Each structure stands twice: as structure tokens, then as C-alpha cells.
Chains A and B, each alone.
Chain A
Amino acid sequence: MIKKSFALAAASATAMALALASPTHAAGTAAGSTITNTVSVDYRVGGVQQNQVTAADSFVVDRKIVLTVVERAPIGTTSVSPGQTSAVTAFDVTNSSNETLDFALGVTQLSGGAAPRGTDTFDVTAPLLWVDNGDGVFNSATDTQVSFIDGLAADATRTVFVVANVPLGLATGAIAGVTLTATAREGGAAGLGATITQTAGANTAGKDTVFADDATGGNTASDGAGFARDDYTVAAAALSVRKLSTIFWDPVSLYAEPKMIPGAIVRYCIAVENAAGSAAATNVSLSDTLPTTLAFVSRNAADGQALPIRVNGGLTAPGGTCDPATGTTGGSNSGQTVSATLEDIAASGAKTLLFYAKVN
């Protein structure tokens, strides 16, 4: 029995040595690892314990190239404004191979056809690739602009950003689809490694290579490369401006049925409207220079009634005129020019500027 327990101790030691020599991952046993199976027999002859007999068989684990490229969560289009710079879409590249590899990266733009969320209708300009520093957020100060991922360990995932500019003059709903492609390259040394080819023909005694990537998402199976698509969707503001005038007072009829006679006061309404489905318009500034036949007034000199400039008011009805009861005092005038900056105008919203001028 002493002998048997010794044999078991030896077997355990063998198992431990193997565990140290062959690190395993979810991606699997490291490529190039040798798996040795050792079997032992204990037996008796004529009631006497005999020496243990052992046999072993070994083989080398080959390299299985598996990679996935997916749109990084949260899945969805990147909403952009016309003229926006550094608009970001994000992808995750995962190395599920049983070896550390480099990945060559490339970005291409769709030319029409199906983007993930609609039909591609425009191209972004100057798309560049950046590798994330691990926080999952694009930051040009901490992330690195690259053309490849250097040394992505087995089971590791790296986030890659496509950063591009959006041309001006695009309408809401325009879509630009981009494709990120990652191709497995030899890992190891710094810099982009050599191209990997699948081992053709029979097994060799050493480490062979098998492309085992699948065809998910339109990919080609067993090509050692993967791609995914993401898209940019334009959300533009579509503003329209209307200018309306109402006779407010005249020196003869006063406020009751005033007529447009010299000395009369006219109320001007400038309505800025944003179309349905548009992006909110921000920093909307207005400027209106009056003709010389009119003079800006802030009070009625005849009766002393204050007639301030009012901003951010609403309309009496959609498409209607300014509601003078709404809005707040604001804006400014400089001589014949009235100017104001309005609050943000949401889709289907309207904001107004209201002021008074006297007919010379």
C-alpha cells in the first residue's frame, strides 16, 4: 500500500506540473501546449504486489484563430449634427483564440446599401481609428490613434472607436454606415505582426493554425478576419422664420382700431419655428435692422406706456402670430438694429421676438 500511495502522489505532481505548463482560458488551452496523458497500472501476481506500469501519450495543442467584432453596447446609431467634428462610433474586438495576437484594423464606408439602421445615404469625412484606454469613452487625450491592435491576449477585448467628421448641409435622417474590419496577425513582438495563414495539409508535430471564426453577422467563416457595422444618423435643425406686423396705436384713434398713419406704432413679431423630427436648435440669434421709415421705440411717448422687447414667447396657434402675453423682457437694440438670442427650440417648437417701432 505504501507503493500505491507513492504512485498517486507522483500522479498528482504530474498533474500540477501540467497545470503550470499549460495555462487555460475560456478561449482554451494555450496554443503550443503539450497535453500528456499518463496511465498507471497496479496489480498483483500470486498475491504479491508488482511494480507499477505506466504509459503516456502526448500531443500538441494547435492554434485556433477566433475573433469577433461587434458594435459596442449600447447598440444604436450615433446621432450627429451637420458639420459635427469627431463624431464617434464604437466597436469591441475580442480575441477568442488560444494565443495572444495582433489585429490589423481597417475602416470602410458603405456606398449605399443597408446600414444597421437604414439605408446609407452619405459618407463621413476622414474616419480615423482609435483604441480605447479601457474606460470605454472616446477621449483624444488618453486614447491612441492606431491602425492595428498590438498584442491582444487570449480572451481579451479592446474597444475601437471610429472618429469622423460630418459634412454640412445634410437633412435629418441621412445615414452614413461604417464598417470596422479586424484581421488576425501574428502576436508577440511590438508592432503589427506578420500575416497568419492557415496550416494546409496534414498536421505537423509543432503548432498548427486553424481559422475557426464563424459567419455571424454576414462575416466569412474561417478567414481569420471579422467585421461589424455601425452608423451615423443626422439630426439637423430645420428652422423657418416668419416676420409679421400689427398696427398697435396711432395718435388719432389711439388703441381702438388704429390706422397706419405717420406717428403710428407697429408691433413686429419674428417667429422662429423648428420642424417636426428635427434636432433641437440651440444658440439661435436674431438680428433685425429697421428701415429708415421706422424708428425703434421702447415706450409710447404720448401716454408713457412701456413697450419693451419681449423674447421667447409663443404663438397664438401653430403657424399663427405672436402671443404678446407670453415671453419675457429681453433682447436689446442698438440704434435701428434689434437683436436677441433665443432659448433652445425643440422639434415642432417655436420661439418669438416681439418689439415695437414708430412710423416716421
Chain B
Amino acid sequence: MTRLFFTFLAVASPAAAWAADAVSLTSTVLVERQKLDAQGRPTVALEEPQVVVPGDKLVFHLNYRNAGATPAQDFTVTNPIPASVSFTAGDGAIVSVDGGTSWGRLAALKVKGADGQPRAALPTDVTHVRWTLASPIPAGGGGQLSFRGIVK
């Protein structure tokens, strides 16, 4: 179910000197299920998206890795929220509530309410999430980012 796209630098690019530098990226989605453990206590398990119906909680994992030989700087990961998914939370992410035009912490953003007046943005208003890594990713380094949503 996971598709992977690599976009290598074109040979004609002025950045041809770093042609070997590439970042690999995978996106996976898991479904959060409430289960009872052996003692009958509720536990949360993450499963592959087997049967997914509206209302199911999803966890999106974004795995990145610097497969090149040079550090990757100003590393920015942008993920539009799929239209059929309602955003709930994203660890350390900034978000956009206007289709990616402006960005910020959710608490600082406002949207136009039903009455035309600005109101505080809610998680359901989020259209994009973005992470900007403060420090360069060293060669061979990688990590994982995640955010959560609910199937509308």
C-alpha cells in the first residue's frame, strides 16, 4: 500500500555537484484500535489499515533519511491533510488553516467563523502540517514525524 517516490536531481541542474545527495521519504498510515489486554484493561494498538471506516483514528508516520553524503539543511516536511481526514494533532508541527498560505501554531491561528467574524482555529480547520528541522540532518541520519487524524 505504500508508494515511494524519489526525485533525483536532474543532470542538467546547476546543483549537479550534489547529485549523489538524496533524501528518502516514506509515508505510512496506521489505524489506532482500542483492545483489551490479557488483564481486560483497554490498550491502544496500532494496526495496518485493514478495515477502515468513518470515525477511525489514524496515525500518519513520515519517515525520512538522508541517503546522501552531505548534510541536508533547512529540512522542511510539508503534508497536506487529505480531504477525507480530519486533523487532530501533530507533534511539534506548525499548521496552516488556509490551504498552505500562512503557517503557525494552531493556537495562534484564526479562521473566519460562520458569522463572518474571526474565531480561533480548531484542529478540524487544519489543511496542512509542516515541520521545519532546526539542525541539518547529517549524512545517513533520519527520523520519523507523525500526526494524527480521524476518517471523516
Contacts and interface: CB of A to CB of B under 8 A. Distances in A.
Contacts, number: 171
Interface stretch (A44-52, A87-95, A240-248, A282-290): A44-52
Interface of A: 7-8, 11-12, 14-15, 18-19, 22, 24, 27-29, 33, 35-64, 98, 199, 202-203, 208, 210, 212
Interface in B1-17: 1-10, 13-15, 17
Contact of B54 (A11, A28, A55): A28
Interface stretch (B35-43, B77-85, B110-118): B77-85
B152 interface: yes
Interface string B19-41: 00111111111000000000000
B137 to A, nearest CB: 8
B1 A15 contact: no
B135 interface: no
A44 B23 CA distance: 10
A8, A36, A45, most chain B CB atoms within 10 A: A45
A38 to B, nearest CB: 6
B70 A39 contact: no
Contact of A15 (B10, B82, B151): B82
B25 A29 contact: no
B71 interface: yes
Contacts of B29: 35, 37, 57, 59
Contact of A8 (B14, B78, B84): B78
A50 B67 CA distance: 14
B84 A35 contact: yes
Given A28-B54, A56-B27, A14 B80 contact: yes
Interface in B33-83: 49-55, 60, 62, 64, 68, 70-83
B100 interface: yes
B24 to A, nearest CB: 7
B131 to A, nearest CB: 9
Nearest to A27: B54
B21 A50 contact: yes
A48 B68 CA distance: 14
A19 B71 CA distance: 37
Nearest to A33: B84
Contacts of A14: 80
A55 B27 contact: yes
A27 to B, nearest CB: 7
A61 B53 contact: yes
Given A45-B21, A55-B26, A40 B84 contact: no
B88 to A, nearest CB: 14
Nearest to B10: A51
B139 to A, nearest CB: 10
A53 B23 contact: yes
Contacts of A28: 53-55, 151-152
